[in-house]
Structure 1
Amino acid sequence: SRIANVADFAFQNCFSLSEICLQAVKTFGKRSFEQCGLVKICNEKCASLPNDVFHFCRQLQSLDFQLLKDLNFQTVKHCCGLWHLRMPSLKSLKEQRDYVDNLRVSDDSSQTLKSSFRVAEFQTRQYKIQKRQNLNFQNFAVENSVLYCKTLPKIAFQHLKGVVLAQSTCIPENAFA
């Protein structure tokens, strides 16, 4: 795209927006994707995001930002469907105590994520996982955590040790592979 800036509330309430590739955008407006539906966003130029750009994007599926340096948890707060983050330049995450639902980092993300993602708490609804040891949740280093999840991918708990799982009614196949 030739768009350089996305205005405030630009795609607000675009429930059916499925994929948008904004390669030249350097700035995103506040709440520019507020309450969007299934969204995949690719961007090569943006270095920072407003804290509320994806406000209540409950089915946000993918973020691919090549130059993003840091990420505030307020940016993806309440994004229940976010499964894929690819941010090779990501150096830090802010506001780490905020809640992000069902968040998973892709295998091709920057190695810095493994040390940057210090998650105090995640919450959704039906799962409760309590820490007994230092746990790795996919690429996350989970500390002092209580996790509440409504849905989980098949390999969500791969390589976990010392996990207590309670209130689990729909654990996926091979969850503990």
Structure 2
Amino acid sequence: MKNCAIILFAMPTLTACSSCPDLSSLRSDFIRTSFDSAKLAGLFTEQVYFDIAQVGASCQTLNVTSGEDGLSMDFSVKYGPIPFTITELYTPGKEVGLYSKNADMPGGKLLTLPTVLVDVEEDYSAMTLYSCLEIGGQAVRELVIATKDENVDDTYVQELVDNALAAGVDIEPDSIKKVSCK
């Protein structure tokens, strides 16, 4: 894992590392050999994240559907007492587990985030998504780890984080935030 310093005067997801890792190399063996996107369908609760767009958010969920065009995830959060939902579209790339992520909204195609499904549990009860885009010589990164069970043990979540970092996700562990519904 690269040791990347966070640039505090910019966006929290901009790091001093100027390049994104090879996303295809971050995929688990299970993703490369056995992944079935249709089995990912269902409601996931985010457990931890690293994402500038989620600052101030709570109770994050992803309702995943799978279709011919890829994955669709209705991303729901609360900003204070105000609920907010946006649909994220994941268009498959040339290799299994690689996607182009866009928001399904006017202008949503203007920002495309290269995204990799780093891993899923074999029963599709947990997933790890990582996005990285280079802008102006800096890498913008996002990490989401979500489970179908809303209440999971912190030790299990830490194992998922450790697996993502071991796979090559280059985010400082102290920067990863735990989701709260308070």
- Per the TM superposition, whether the score is higher than 0.5 is no
- Please give the TM-score of this superposition, normalised by the length of structure 2: 0.21
Kindly indicate whether structure 1 or structure 2 has the higher relative contact order, using CA contacts under 8 Å at least 6 residues apart: 2
- Please give the TM-score of this superposition, normalised by the length of structure 1: 0.21
Q: Which has the higher strand share?
A: 2
